Amino acid sequence: MNRWRNLASLAWRDARPARRRLLLFTSSISIGVAALVAIDSYSANVVRSVAQQSRAILGADLAISSRQPLTAPIIQLVDSLRTAGADVDYATNFSSMAVVPRLEGTRLVQVNAVGPKLPFYGAMKTDPAGRWQALQTGHNALVDATLLAGLGARVGDTLVLGKARFEIAGTLVDVPGDVGIESALGPRVYIAQRYVDETGLLGFGSRAEYEAQLALPPGIDADSWESAHLGTLRAEHVRARTVRDTERSLTRGVDQLHSFLGVVGLVALLLGGIGVAAAIRAYVAEKSDPIAVLRCLGATSGQVLVVYLLQAAALGLAGAALGAALGVAAQFALPLVLGDFMPVDVHPSLEPRAVVAGLAVGVWVATIFALIPLLGVRHVTPLQALRREDSSLPVRRATRDPARWVAAAALIASVVAIAIWRADDLQRGAAMSASIGAVIVALWLAAFAIAWLARRVLRSHWPFTLRQGVANLYRPSNQTRAVMLALGFGAFLIGTLYLVQRSLLSHLSFSDGAVQANIAFFDVQRDQVNALDSLIRKAGDPVLQRVPIVPMRIASIGGRSVAELSRERSSWALRREYRSSYRDSLIGSERVTAGSWQRTTNRSVGLPAVSFEQDVAQELGLTLGDTVTWDVQGVRIPTVVGSFREVNWARFEPNFFVLFPPSTLVDAPQTFVLLTRVDGAGRASRSAALQREAVDAYPNVSSIDLSVIQQTVSDILGKISVAVRFMALFSIATGALVLLSAVAASRRQRLREAVLLKTLGATRAQVRSIMLAEYAVLGLLGSAVGLLLSVAGAWALVHFVFDIPFAPLAPPLILLAALMTLLTLSIGLWSSRDVFSATPMAALR
């Protein structure tokens, strides 16, 4: 015990002169720890807030909703709950065009018609305050502020929904469970449930949701009630949601965000580990004399190792503690960037578990990464105190040490274990550590290739300083590998983030020129199609597509009913309502991937051949030739699977999971979507006028302008970019710190060389240009290799994970490479600043 205390105090004293410098290098671990602590704390905050607020978010203990008016068996279930003491009220949600007669224009809105008792829990905040009750006292509406802004309306205006008129009584300030960006997609309008019929909007084919909300008496548990009646609920195509369901679905989204951001944190942490390893390596090299003296005085090589391991662990703890403090601070900043994506109001509070986990993983990473270079101290012989030798020798001698291989194996195992812990999934964790490993190996190989190449291309007629700089890339104890790793990994990360983000943006920007239509009218009834068609043409605009939509459900597959199939595996694809269409040809946003597109009945089986979108077909487990029987408004229609299609959903065109040949559905009940294109001078006002005219004539018809969607999408993506960049900052900061410690690792040697050169007659300018040449080559090649790897990495992510086209762009990458080269140069010169101030006198001492 005493011996340990002595070793600890020896470790403390031994590190004294270098403590501040060492702390700078272990701080490369801080940023990774900060990222992990921030993300873990924030997501714990969110999960806790969700748990606290989920009842208010649902507004009830149990909500039962359906795409059709609640059927008799469901009403019976609700009634039995009412008899048992439950409080019940109803709501209807549907979309509609909102018109303010005083003004031009119209806007697609989401109407929420609520009964007087709703919400059972939680409170709706309005502006002016307390107007929620006004909803039930008359024809009043509460709306999202974005709607007022979009239409130019104000509180007190009259709002027309279908055939009913309401007075805007106020705006919604806070709706429990509201995700901020949602209101941008479809502004909400709340009215009283009893005025729904008055609007006359709930005709055939309109997308409405009918909901019963219940407050249950003590003694009835919503979840057990739900599982007891699952059979009836499913048979009636009704969805039941409990507080726990709400919590689960909200937390799932947070989990995904958490694991994405966690990857960034993990990578920052591993980069930090590499930085620690580089710093410790340099530290050990300069410590070889004192170690030799310690050995002469009777310290065993094991004791020496313990002394330095204790130093590494202590510095790891200091670095991790700094990181944890930073992380807690960042946690309070995260709501500013992520708040709009969160369904709950997040109140940041200290999360001891996240802080402890961050500290533990930080200390561990620092220690395990320090271990390999530290093993070198065991190879410092006492003889060295008498005879000077090259200080990097012990480190190199350690290459043949079996303990080194054990340490390397422990390091790899730790990285894989941490990756699996972070990913919370064995396969994903393994894939993640494999890709990180692949990048490191690629960078390592690139470093070797560069050293080899530098030796080959060096020409004696080059200017002296350039030759020296390039030769430094392959000379003994060069820093090529360390800088390549740090810089390359940083460039790889930043490049990958940028390219993925860009591919996502360009995929969603509708800018591929193939877009024809820019206004869509939907929910058009069959008897309105021709009239609306001529209304559009009269305004001077073309009707580009008339797309029929037939709502239907799957009745059976291969003769087995959906109920039967559901018992084997529950899938959204089995129970959903399909809004299918029929046509005789494919459109630009789709292509057949298997089977063949058949316009008519498949002759060999005598059934109509339908085409499935490939992902939904996979979800249903369909193969070509399977029979699928549909329930179209009560009529059974048997079909055969004729082909699979790949569909680009991001195009502004109606696309469908299932396409029928025309002859089969022509007489089925259906609605239509009409697409037109308005452009040229005064586009905005002509678009508004056309939509307004259509709504005045046919209140049930909804319309949307592509430019509104584009604006919304770019708003959302802008917010996502901010969040992604915020995280990228962590990696960039770590990259810079790691680069700093990689460069600093060989700083003393460089200093000594530069002083000697000055003694021998070199001017400061000559010393500087040697360094510039070396760092310029390193910076340029390191960032170039990292960015090339990022193109490969981003391509893989975009292709396999996001499944969208890859959209690389060279100029920003070149700019990025230039910036990183500049960063390398500045860090290199900054860390060598002593060279310019030191007098050559040092060579004599």
| Other C-beta atoms lying within 10 Å of the C-beta of residue 281 | 22
Q: Is 644 helix (H, G, I), strand (E, B) or coil?
A: strand
Closest of 786, 28, 724, 801 to residue 447, by C-alpha: 786
Q: Binding other proteins by CB under 8 A: which of 599, 683, 764, 799? A: 764
98 sits in which H/E element? strand 87-99
Comparing CB distances to other proteins, the nearer of 759 and 826 is 759
How many residues contact other proteins, by CB under 8 A? 32
Q: Binding other proteins by CB under 8 A: which of 112, 472, 611, 769? A: 472
Beta strand 543-557 with 578-582: parallel, antiparallel or unpaired? antiparallel
Q: Binding other proteins by CB under 8 A: which of 311, 749, 769, 821? A: 749
Residue 773 Cβ vs other proteins, minimum distance, rounded to whole Å: 14
Interacting positions 663-702 with other proteins (CB under 8 A)? none
Closest of 646, 719, 695, 569 to residue 199, by C-alpha: 695
Residue 397 Cβ vs other proteins, minimum distance, rounded to whole Å: 12
604 contacts other proteins (rule: CB under 8 A)? no
Of the candidate spans 123-131, 166-174, 475-483, 791-799, the one that interacts with other proteins by CB under 8 A turns out to be 475-483
Q: Binding other proteins by CB under 8 A: which of 188, 379, 502, 758? A: 758
What token pair was written down for 110? 């989401």
Q: Are 781 and 454 in contact (CB under 8 A)?
A: no
Q: Binding other proteins by CB under 8 A: which of 405, 464, 649, 830? A: 464
840 contacts other proteins (rule: CB under 8 A)? yes
544 sits in which H/E element? strand 543-557
Comparing CB distances to other proteins, the nearer of 434 and 756 is 756
149 contacts other proteins (rule: CB under 8 A)? no
Q: Binding other proteins by CB under 8 A: which of 79, 345, 390, 803? A: 390
Helices in 659-763 by DSSP H: which ranges?
662-665, 683-697, 706-745, 747-759
Task: Determine if residue 298 is left, alpha or beta; phi over 0 gives left, psi from -120 to 50 gives alpha, anything else beta.
Answer: left
288 contacts other proteins (rule: CB under 8 A)? no
451 contacts other proteins (rule: CB under 8 A)? no
Of the candidate spans 472-480, 510-518, 557-565, 681-689, the one that interacts with other proteins by CB under 8 A turns out to be 472-480
Q: Are 621 and 613 in contact (CB under 8 A)?
A: no
| Other C-beta atoms lying within 10 Å of the C-beta of residue 465 | 19
Q: Binding other proteins by CB under 8 A: which of 681, 765, 801, 810? A: 765
Interacting positions 706-735 with other proteins (CB under 8 A)? none
761 contacts other proteins (rule: CB under 8 A)? yes
Q: Is 611 helix (H, G, I), strand (E, B) or coil?
A: strand
| Other C-beta atoms lying within 10 Å of the C-beta of residue 519 | 23
Q: Is 205 helix (H, G, I), strand (E, B) or coil?
A: coil
What token pair was written down for 577? 């309502």
Q: Are 778 and 486 in contact (CB under 8 A)?
A: no
286 contacts other proteins (rule: CB under 8 A)? no
Q: Binding other proteins by CB under 8 A: which of 389, 512, 584, 803? A: 389
839 contacts other proteins (rule: CB under 8 A)? yes
Of the candidate spans 307-315, 466-474, 637-645, 793-801, the one that interacts with other proteins by CB under 8 A turns out to be 466-474
Residue 22 Cβ vs other proteins, minimum distance, rounded to whole Å: 24
Residue 746 Cβ vs other proteins, minimum distance, rounded to whole Å: 9
Residue 778 Cβ vs other proteins, minimum distance, rounded to whole Å: 15
Beta strand 543-557 with 671-676: parallel, antiparallel or unpaired? antiparallel
Closest of 732, 730, 726, 738 to residue 272, by C-alpha: 738
| Other C-beta atoms lying within 10 Å of the C-beta of residue 754 | 24
500 contacts other proteins (rule: CB under 8 A)? no
393 contacts other proteins (rule: CB under 8 A)? yes
| Other C-beta atoms lying within 10 Å of the C-beta of residue 595 | 17
Residue 445 Cβ vs other proteins, minimum distance, rounded to whole Å: 23
219 contacts other proteins (rule: CB under 8 A)? no
Half-sphere exposure of residue 336, counting CA atoms within 13 Å on the CB side? Answer: 7
Q: Binding other proteins by CB under 8 A: which of 8, 179, 797, 843? A: 843
Of the candidate spans 80-88, 219-227, 758-766, 825-833, the one that interacts with other proteins by CB under 8 A turns out to be 758-766
Residues 6+ apart with CB under 8 A from 694: 521, 532, 535, 536, 701, 703
Residue in the structure block whose two tokens are 């080269």: 821
460 contacts other proteins (rule: CB under 8 A)? yes
356 contacts other proteins (rule: CB under 8 A)? no
Closest of 685, 690, 620 to residue 658, by C-alpha: 620
Comparing CB distances to other proteins, the nearer of 389 and 679 is 389
Residue 390 Cβ vs other proteins, minimum distance, rounded to whole Å: 4
Q: Which residues bind other proteins (CB under 8 A)?
A: 388-390, 393, 460, 464, 467, 471-472, 475-478, 749, 753, 756-766, 839-841, 843-845
